[in-house]
Structure formats: C-alpha cells, structure tokens
Amino acid sequence: MTTLTADTLASRLSEPRLLRHQSYINGAWVEGPRSLVINNPATGEDIAHLADVGAEGARSAVEAAQTAFERWKKVSPYERGKILMRWHDLILAHADDLATILTAEMGKTYREARGEIVYGAAFIEWSAEEAKRIHGETLTPPFPGSRGWTTRAPIGVVACITPWNFPNAMITRKCAPALAAGCTMVIKPAPETPLSALALAELAEEAGVPKGVFNIVCGDAQEIGPVLTGAPEVRMIGFTGSTPVGKLLMRQAADGVKRVALELGGNAPFIIMDDADVDTAAAGIVASKFRVSGQTCVSANRIIAQPGIYDDLLAALKTKVDALKVGDGFAGDTDLGPLIHTQAVERVDGLVRRAVDGGARIVSGGHSLVDELGGAFYAPTLIEGGTPEMDLACFEIFGPVASVYKMDSEAEILRFANDTPYGLAAYLYTRDIGRVHRMTEGLDYGMIGVNAPMVGSAATPFGGVKESGIGREGGKWGVEEFTELKYVLLGGVDT
Ligand code: ADP
C-alpha cells in the first residue's frame, strides 16, 4: 500500500498552491493557531496542520460577507453567471489535483473522487446558466386600477456547514445556486476535510469571485457554529450532516427566524420485487451500498426482497460483494477505500456484532480490516436474517454493510420501508408499471429511484422528508431556496 504524508501530498500535485492551510476570509488567506490536524484515513498518517480561526474568524467572515452582499446582489446576473462558469471551467481543468486532495483527506477511491469533482462542478455550470433566469411574475391585477408583480431577491448572507463524505460537492451544491442568486457565503467545512474546501476557494478567487463573497472558516464547530447561527446578518443556514446537529442548528436559527435548508440522515430501503431482473438489481444494490464505502446519506440501508427472487438475489450479491477490492484509494484497482476514521469502523462493527448476537447471519465479510490493512478499513459485508427492530435496520449504517430482509406483500414491505423517522432516498426494482405507481405513491421519501441506484444530479431536486431534512438542492428548486419572494402592488394605474 502506498503511504501518503504531509511531505508527499504536495509533491503529487501539479499545482501545490491548491494545498492551502489557512482559512479564506474577505479575499485573504488568514492564519490562526495550527490546531487542526488532517489525517489520511488509509494510513492514519497526518497530511496537514491547519489554522483554526475560531469564533473571531467566523465573525469577521460574516462581516465581510455582509459588506460584499451589498455589491454582489447588484452585479448583473449575466456577469455572476460568467464568473461562475469560469469557476466551473477552472475546477474541471484542475480535476486531477482536486481529486488527489480529496482522496488524501477523505479516503474515497481516486475514481470516486474524480467523479465527485465532475458532479460538484455540474452544479456550478447549472447555476451559472440559471442565474439569468431568476425572475418573478406579473400577476393578474388584484384590485381595480392596480398592477401586481413578484421578484425573487437574494436572501442575503448564507452560512453553510458541510460534511466530510462529499467535501467538494456538498459545498458547490450550496454555493453555486446561492452565488447565482446574489447571496454571499460563509462556509465551515468538516474538520476532517477542509483542504478540498480551501482548494475550491483558491479557484473561486482565480475565477473572479470578488472578495468577501465566498469565505471559508476552518476551526472548532462548537465555537464557529453559534456565531453563524446567532449573527443577525446571516439570513439562512444551509447544512448537510447528521440529524442531531441539524436539529441543534435549527433550534439555534429559530431565535433569528433564519431560513434553514437541512440535508440530514437517511435510512434508505432498497426494494426488489419478485418480477425484477435479479442481476440488474444486484448490480444496483452494490452501486448504491458500496459507493464511498457506504458513507453516503442515500446508501441502501435496508435491502428488502420478495421470496420469489430472494435466494437468487442473495447468491448474486455474494458473488459481487466477494469480488470487491478494498484498499488505498490511490491504488488503481481499489473498489472501496477506508472509512473516515477508526471510530467509524468500531461503530459499524458494533452494529454488525449486535445483529449477529440477535440472530442475523453473516454471508460475507463482517469484520474490521484495521489489523490487516492499517488505516480505517472494514470488509465489504453481506448479512441476512436481521429483523426490523435491530439497530442495523433502525440506524444509518454509514459503512460497507448490506443487510437483506425477506418480506412478502407490498403492504408489509411499505410498512417496514416507512417505519423510520427518516425519508431521504428509496429504491424500487420492478418491471410492473402498476407496482411502480402503487409503491412510489406509498413510499414516504423525498427521492425514489425506480430501477435506478442513484438519484442525484445538478438538474433534479435532492432532499428528504420527515427528519431527513427541509428544502431541496439542485435544479430550479435549489436556486429558489436562496431567494425571497417579493410582491409589489402598484395602485392608481387607470386613474
Ligand atoms: P458526522 O458525525 O458525520 O461528522 P456531523 O453532523 O457531526 O456529522 O458533522 C457535519 C458538519 O457539522 C461538520 O462540518 C461538523 O463540524 C459540523 N458540526 C458538528 N457539530 C456542530 C455544532 N454543534 N455546531 C455547528 N456545526 C457542527
């Protein structure tokens, strides 16, 4: 296995200037005590020490964003679109370096990391094009002699707190529509993966994003979070992460009646009906479950199969799971990288152990690979015989563990699928058009993939219902989130 340390990471990049170690506030690279240590999850080695700018840094970023907002909202949408398109082009031109940084700090395979860069850039392209289409409507005159119309005004300064599993795309998915709409941003990236955020800031500056419009503050979440949620200048909090932190931010934002956009946890059912094509379904499950080692909020969490295809599906899955190669994300033939850290390995292993104690059977894997491979690796795992009451079925696994449940009737499947506080993504494999309608209407989820293991794209609405979140990212819906609807009534027109 290759090793990657602070010394060797920079030498891998064609543009080491992208490897930033300071926060980016008001167009300047800002120092602070270097207390954030960034780890390579494949080896456990330190790859960077980063400045923590703390509450003071967060306050100055908010002030800078507020000052910049007064100018940025008046920049023509056509011009904002052009700047965003330059940012998009620069990101794609530097995709190899951005993917290298991403794999180094987060662990996902280089192929997945490069895919994320392209996916993340697509939101910038889409929003750049949309900037000139953010407009209101002329209304049918509500009173005699009057005229009415609406406009869409940028909401103001937006603070975003982002997670480590998509260190690039979770930022672009929020920032691109926000900047297109005329908002300015303060971003607090995850402490595990700030380097990808800072590399994006470097390229935003090169693209011509004016100072103060896009700020990145790195540091302690407990210190920075309350500054962002408490500042009166901040009009919206965008967050992707765990449900408990999302609820906390929502409570903090309530005092200032700030808008919140929350993309929280999931517990995705992946349903295979007995008329489905087994090989296609098995390939879909592997794509959904083992992408990013299962560390996505839309990963299949409960695989539910009807008895007619159950045995064939399990056999097809076992063949595929046993063939998955685990290792350093930089090795060319790796299918699965490490988990984010060893605590995640312990948490996932705990879920598996408790399921086995409760009567579930391990078909493949079912153990940590930390001793064999170092870092934070877990074996791709297939389990059957779990029950709906087990933690494995109730909690988001966030690891490479596929748990298959056998259920018969549509009603029973829907009951199990919906029996969770979450409602982000669900998947359904069937070739029966009647079932497609009955089941998609019955599933309480924000996104449903029918015969499709992945649902996200720059053009479509991403988000959940129930405790999976509020709001949508992507497409025109993602842009609208960052605007206020303003209504104007003009009287006395016909007199
Ligand atoms: P995970 O457990 O997967 O890291 P979290 O919800 O804890 O998910 O983290 C997502 C983001 O939320 C990260 O940027 C993290 O630093 C941030 N975060 C965690 N706790 C708080 C908090 N109390 N206030 C503000 N941000 C927080």
Residue 1 has pLDDT above 70, yes or no: no
Three-class SS state of 483: strand
Task: Choose the residue to mutate in 168, 186, 245, 264 for probing ligand 1, maximizing ligand atoms within 8 Å of C-beta.
Answer: 245
Which of ligand 1's atoms lies nearest the C-alpha of 245? 6
Positive or negative: CA dihedral 473, 178, 205, 62: negative
Task: Report the candidate in 243, 281, 265 with the shortest Cα–Cα distance to residue 427.
Answer: 281
- Return the SS3 of 150: strand
Ligand 1 neighbourhood includes 242 CB (under 6 angstroms): yes
Q: Is 299 helix (H, G, I), strand (E, B) or coil?
A: coil
Indicate the class that CATH gives domain 6-264+469-485.
Answer: alpha beta
Quick check: 357 and 261 in contact, CB under 8 A? Answer: no
Model confidence pLDDT, tens digit, residues 137-192: 999 998 999 999 999 999 999 999 999 999 999 999 999 999 999 999 999 999 99
For ligand 1, atom 9: residue with the closest CA: 241
Instruction: Examine the residue annotation and report whether 175 is marked as an active-site residue of this protein.
Output: no
Identify any residues that bridge with 133 across adjacent strands, giving them in sequence order.
none
Model pTM score? 0.97
- Per 3-state DSSP, what percentage of the chain is helix, strand, and coil (rounded to 5)? 45, 20, 35
225 lines ligand 1 (CB under 6 A): yes
User: Tokens in use for 197?
Assistant: 């955020």
CB-based contact 25:215 (threshold 8 Å) = yes
Check residue 11 and give its pLDDT. Answer: 92
191 lines ligand 1 (CB under 6 A): yes
Q: Is residue 177 within a helix (H) or strand (E), and if so which, with residue range?
A: helix 169-181
* 218 annotated active-site: no
**CA dihedral (74, 76, 77, 79) positive or negative:** negative
Question: In this predicted model, what pLDDT tens digit does every residue of 395-434 receive, in sequence order?
Answer: 999 999 999 999 999 999 999 999 999 999 999 999 999 9
Q: Tell me the C-alpha distance between 494 and 21, whole Å.
A: 63
Residue 361 DSSP SS3: strand
The kind and range of the H/E element at 151 are strand 147-154
- DSSP-derived 3-state class of residue 175: helix
**How many beta carbons lie within 10 A of that of residue 255, not counting itself?**
10
Q: What is the pLDDT of residue 2?
A: 54
Domain borders along the chain are 6-264+469-485, 268-457
CA of 171 to the centre of ligand 1 (A): 14
> Half-sphere exposure of residue 158, counting CA atoms within 13 Å on the CB side?
32
Interatomic CA distance for residues 106 and 127, integer angstroms? 26
Taking only the tens place, the pLDDT of each residue in 446-491 is 999 999 999 999 999 999 999 999 999 999 999 999 999 999 999 9
Q: Which of 112, 192, 263, 467 is catalytic?
A: 263
Please identify, in words, the CATH class of the domain defined by 268-457.
Answer: alpha beta
Specify the amino acid at residue 473.
Answer: E
- Check whether 86 has a pLDDT greater than 90: yes
- Residues 298 and 447: beta-carbon distance below 8 Å: yes
Strand duo 259-263 + 469-470: pairing: antiparallel
Are 325 and 333 in contact by the 8 Å Cβ rule? The answer is: yes
